[in-house]
Amino acid sequence: MSSIYLEKLVMKRESKSFIDSLYAVLSAAGQFDGPKYLLSGLTGMAFKLSIHERLLPMSVTAYGQWGTEHQPAVDNLGYLTITDSGRVRHSTFRHFQQAAIQDTRQNLDQGMGVIYWIPEFGVIHGYDDVDRVFFAKDGISSDDQIILYDNFGLNFTSFWYYQTIGEKVDIPIEQSILESLRLAIHDWDTPFKLLPGKEVANGKEAYTYWINALNSGDYDAGGAMYILDSHIVSRTEIRNYLQYIQGTWAGLKDVVGLFEQLLQHMEIAATCIVKDREARRIDPTFLQLFIQSLESARLLEDQAMGIFKQISAGFPDPKRTTLPRWGTHSAR
């Protein structure tokens, strides 16, 4: 019977919840002391844009099958990472749940927090065998969330997910930067990642879904605000990341300029928001202006990806020219 409580682990919701979680885990373990945007950029996570056709709040985390999306992200930092996840309905869930509980405890014993779908993504930073509970942070509340061992993985969504971070190899920074551009290109050019479902679009197509939903008027008002806020944060992270890496290859300076412009359009979009009895929403008078801002953003981002592609074409790319034996699949 033992217990652990990682006092140093701090999580703050700013970026995508997965990155906030990863940042919290690595920082607490003394393994990362750079700015968060660097983590968002190198993992390619900042670039991910996914939009549900009705702008539901889940859009922000619906950027694909998580294992498939997060593995290359963490790979690019050089860490070994183990993920387990699935659908609670699977007959083997209870077995994996027990294995995950033990694995989570062991990682905490080694001082490593564990990324966990609460939802959204948060970090398990402690356990107590006597009360049979985990302590988790969601980055919003300063209070811990308490998760009973018996309820590990159970939540209002139908899936469970946890991820641990292990040893590290050093990857030359230029190699990581190049890979991050390629992760961005792939996301931009992959319209649907949850096929056969098409309720959520990604990358370039996501902008189209966003604009169509606003035009139709049939959308989730709260989700629309969450998507906008996340977008401004992630595009700011991209701009900062690009400023950081702009000396690596010719052309990246131009991309910084494109994202500067994109952010100006997003600022305009933000001015179209009114506060209506505590709830924020798009002022109907300025709906078209808001949509125009998104159209400009889509165009600028497309130009940026064009430059990324030119840079990428100068180097061999075995990861994307070799067919894998994992990755995209339909839920079954």
Partner 1 sequence: MPAVLLDGLRMTNATQSYIDAMHAILSHRGWITCSKSMLTGMTVAGFRFTVQRSLQVESTTAYNWMAENFIAADFIGIAASQGAGFNFESTFPLYQKQAVGMIKESIDNGIGVVVWKDRFVVVAGYDDDKQVLYYSDGEGNEQGIHDGLKSLAYDDFGRNETPYWYYQFFENKIELEEIEIYRESLIQAIYKWETHDPMLPEGEYACGRLAYDAIISAIQTGDYIAKDGASVIGYYAGAKRDISLYIRELSRMWPEIVQAAEEYGRVAAIFTEVACLLVEWRQEISDIALNNHPQVTLLVALVQEAKEKEANAIEKLRWWMRESLDNRFHDIGLR
Q: Site residues (CB under 8 A) for partner 1?
A: 75, 78-80, 82, 84, 87, 89-92, 94-96, 99, 166-169, 171, 175, 195-196, 318-319, 322-332
Pairing mode, if any, of strands 145-148 and 159-168? unpaired
> What's the start-to-end Cα distance of the chain, in Å?
38
Tell me the closest approach of the beta carbon of residue 178 to partner 1, in angstroms.
12
Q: Which of these, 19, 10, 9, lies nearest to 61 by C-alpha position? A: 19
Contacts of 7 (CB under 8 A, 6+ apart): none
Tell me the closest approach of the beta carbon of residue 270 to partner 1, in angstroms.
37
Tell me the closest approach of the beta carbon of residue 326 to partner 1, in angstroms.
4
Q: Which is nearer to partner 1, 130 or 169 (CB)?
A: 169
Q: Which is nearer to partner 1, 8 or 95 (CB)?
A: 95
153 and 160 Cβ atoms separated by less than 8 Å: yes
Q: Which is nearer to partner 1, 34 or 166 (CB)?
A: 166
Q: Which is nearer to partner 1, 99 or 279 (CB)?
A: 99
Tell me the closest approach of the beta carbon of residue 203 to partner 1, in angstroms.
16
Q: Which is nearer to partner 1, 12 or 94 (CB)?
A: 94
Q: What does the alpha-carbon distance between residue 58 and residue 62 come to, in Å, rounded to a whole number?
A: 6
Tell me the closest approach of the beta carbon of residue 205 to partner 1, in angstroms.
16
The letter for the amino acid at 27 is S
φ, ψ for residue 132, nearest 5 deg? 55, 55
Tell me the closest approach of the beta carbon of residue 219 to partner 1, in angstroms.
23
Q: Which is nearer to partner 1, 58 or 270 (CB)?
A: 58
